[in-house]
Amino acid sequence: MLHLVRHGRPAIDPAVPARRWRLDHAHVDAVRELRSSGRVPAAAVWATSPEMKALETARALTSGPVAVVDDLREHDRDAGWLEDFDDAVARAFTDPDSQAVPGWEPLRACGERVRTAYERLRAEHPTAPLVLVGHGTSWTLLVAHLLGLPVDSTLLPRWRSWGMPDVVSLDA
């Protein structure tokens, strides 16, 4: 079984790159509620993105060991703060082989990076439940791969549907 957890709500600071955002302490209760909900197994192999908001979410969800896996990081978006972020993400899904914004990783490259990391973890732990803590765009791309869906604008509703925190469980 695979459990993809999207991190809790971050404390957004437009002056700081999103990859360095931490959890918003005003919303930590939502992460605690997810832990007590039974939707994420305690007995599992845990891995997380290195981004602080994901790492803090993982640490709040389990008291067991959590591996930090660099390739589980979010879609690389080193372009600074964007007021039209949703429009930029829509462009990324529309043309996944190109940079939607200068400095952004092409979406297909992100999907391949995350898929490879997942496959490596699954090969190392073929029968164990996996809990991966990370990000909405990365998980949207991994779910698309696992379900055999194309990477295109039809994925936007899936991307927009992720809560903070949230979990999707798949038999994978």
Task: Provide the pLDDT confidence category of residue 6 given band limits of 50, 70 and 90.
Answer: very high
Q: Which residue has the tokens 């979406």?
A: 107
By C-alpha distance, which of 49, 47, 46, 95 is closest to 75?
49
Is a pLDDT exceeding 90 seen at residue 144?
yes
What is this structure's pTM?
Answer: 0.96
User: Tens digit of pLDDT for each residue in 148-161?
Assistant: 999 999 999 999 99
Report the pLDDT value the prediction gives residue 81, as an integer from 0 to 100. 87
Report the pLDDT value the prediction gives residue 149, as an integer from 0 to 100. 97
User: Tens digit of pLDDT for each residue in 44-98?
Assistant: 999 999 999 999 999 999 999 999 999 999 999 987 888 899 999 999 999 999 9
The residue segments making up the domain with residue 87 are 2-170
Partnered with residue 134 across adjacent β-strands are: 6
User: Tens digit of pLDDT for each residue in 115-129?
Assistant: 999 999 999 999 999
Instruction: Tell me whether the omega of the peptide bond preceding residue 165 falls within 30 degrees of 0, making it cis.
Output: yes
H/E element holding 4? strand 2-6
Domain count, the chain: 1
pLDDT (mean) for 30-56: 96
Pairing of strands 166-170, 130-134: unpaired
Share of the chain above pLDDT 90, in %: 96
Report the pLDDT value the prediction gives residue 78, as an integer from 0 to 100. 81
CATH of the domain at 144: 3.40.50.1240
Is a pLDDT exceeding 90 seen at residue 22?
yes
The distance between the two most distant Cα atoms of the chain, rounded to a whole number of Å, is 43
DSSP-H helix ranges across 18-67 = 28-36, 52-61
CA dihedral (46, 1, 127, 148) in degrees, to 10, reads -110
Please tell me what DSSP assigns to residue 103: T
